[in-house]
Structures are given as C-alpha cells and as structure tokens.
Amino acid sequence: MMDADRAALLRALPYARRYARALTGSQQHGDALVAEALRCLMAVALPAGEGALRVALYGAISDAAPYEDAGQEMTSVQRKLLLLTALEELTLADAARVVRLELEIAEHELRASRDRLRAGAAARVLIIEDEPIIALDIQELVERCGHSVVGIAATEAEAVEIARRDPPSLVLADINLGAGGDGANAVARIMRHISVPVIFVTAYPERLLTGEVVEPAFVITKPFDPTTLAVATYQAVTRGLRAL
C-alpha cells in the first residue's frame, strides 16, 4: 500500500468505526467488524482517491455485517442506508454503492426506512448539555422526533441526580460541560446504577474514536439536523445496548 493510500485510510477509520458501532450497537462488535473489513480490503486492490477509499471501507463493513432482518421493524439494508446518509453524510449514490443496490432501489428503500423511522418506538431522554440555548434546541428536536425529555442537566451532578430520580431510556450527552464537569464522566456514573443506551454529541467525533480508551458506540457530530438525531436515537433504542 502506498503511503498516500495508508494516510487516507487512517483518516477514514474513525468515521468507519462510528458507522460500524452504530450499526451493531456496541464498541466491541463494531470494532471487530472494522477489523474484518480491513482484512478483506487488504486482499484486493484499493481504489484511488480518499472518497472512493472511504466508500470501499463502508462497503466492506456492510458486507461483513450480519443480517438481522427477522423480527425487525427495519431491514438491515434500510438501517445501513439511514446511517450512511444521515450519520455519515454520504450521498444516496455513494450509499447505494456501499450496500450494492441500484440507485432507484436504494431510493425506494431509504424512503421506506424513513417511514418506519417516524413510526419507531419513543424514548424517555435525559439531555446533558451545559449551554442553555443548545439544550433547548436539542429538546425541541428530541420532542419533534416523538420522544419525551425527562430532564436537562448542565453538570455531572445534575445528570446523576435526574437519572436516579427519573431513569431515562436514552441519554443524549455533550462531552464538554465547561465548569460543570465532563459528559463522559456523568454517563459513567449513571451507568453504575442503570443500563441505558447513550448517544454522545461532539464537534470532533474523531477525537472520541482513537482506539486508545473505552469509547462510545453512538456518536453524532455537532451541529446536527433532526434526521441525524432521529436515526441515532432509533438505532440506539432498538439496539438497546450499552454505549460504554
């Protein structure tokens, strides 16, 4: 592999790991999926160009992912298309290439997945965010997605207290709480008492996906739109797995 290809692959890895974790619902299974995808990619000639390499990596991850359509509201392909277009911000054409579908069929499947998304299960959400205006904006988006908010916490202590008093079914946490502490620490303290899926919100997702420490399964990038939040909450809740 040429040095330029290796550098491009390394830049794509944090986002590929985010996709795999969101797809499987856990750090362990997501990282195992990425490792399998990398082994498959190394056995073939890599495409030229960073964009094409990233699409190839997503494709190898999607190919290696187990199909779990039985008993699911949304098919594996529909989940993948939602995550690729909303969370990873691929064009529909690139997402279609990732899941090996003709563009017209992928468009139909994406529409169907969005219909199922709107009919998805509602969650009771704890928001951990120290900026009041941002917290209210997130609350509005959460409620617009059909979920309810059990509380908004600006500090670690508030987050732990709200979770103890009114246990949520989903936590949506910023990382940096300023003087109020650290969102990851707040989540760790909450998880000592309840098992609940967690979505971390950050402007720098690659900093959370270094492979050096225990990391979240669900990460969305600030700023985000309602569709991204809806997809992440649906995947987190339906997978029902711990984020740390």
74-131 pLDDT tens trace? 888 999 999 999 889 999 999 999 999 999 999 999 999 988 887 767 889 999 999 9
Q: Are 142 and 236 in contact (CB under 8 A)?
A: no
Q: pLDDT tens-digit profile of 195-241?
A: 888 898 877 666 665 554 445 678 888 777 788 888 888 888 886 54
Angle at 94 between CA 88 and CA 95, to 5 degrees: 60
Q: pLDDT-based confidence at 71, cuts 50/70/90?
A: low
User: Taking the mean position of all CA atoms in its chain, how far away is CA 181?
Assistant: 23
CA dihedral 109, 112, 114, 118 (to 10 degrees): -160
Q: pLDDT tens-digit profile of 130-161?
A: 999 989 999 998 888 888 999 999 999 999 99
pTM of the model: 0.75
Q: Which residues of 39-73 are buried (b: 16+ CB within 10 A; e: fewer)?
A: ebbeeeebeeeeeebbbbbbbbbbebbeeeeeeee
Q: 1-66 sits in which CATH class?
A: mainly alpha
Contacts of 231 by beta carbon, 8 Å cutoff, 6+ apart: 82, 83, 86, 87, 117
Q: pLDDT tens-digit profile of 12-53?
A: 888 888 899 888 888 788 889 999 998 888 877 777 777 888
Residues 124-239, CATH architecture = 3-Layer(aba) Sandwich (3.40)
The span from the CA of 228 to the CA of 63, in Å, is 23
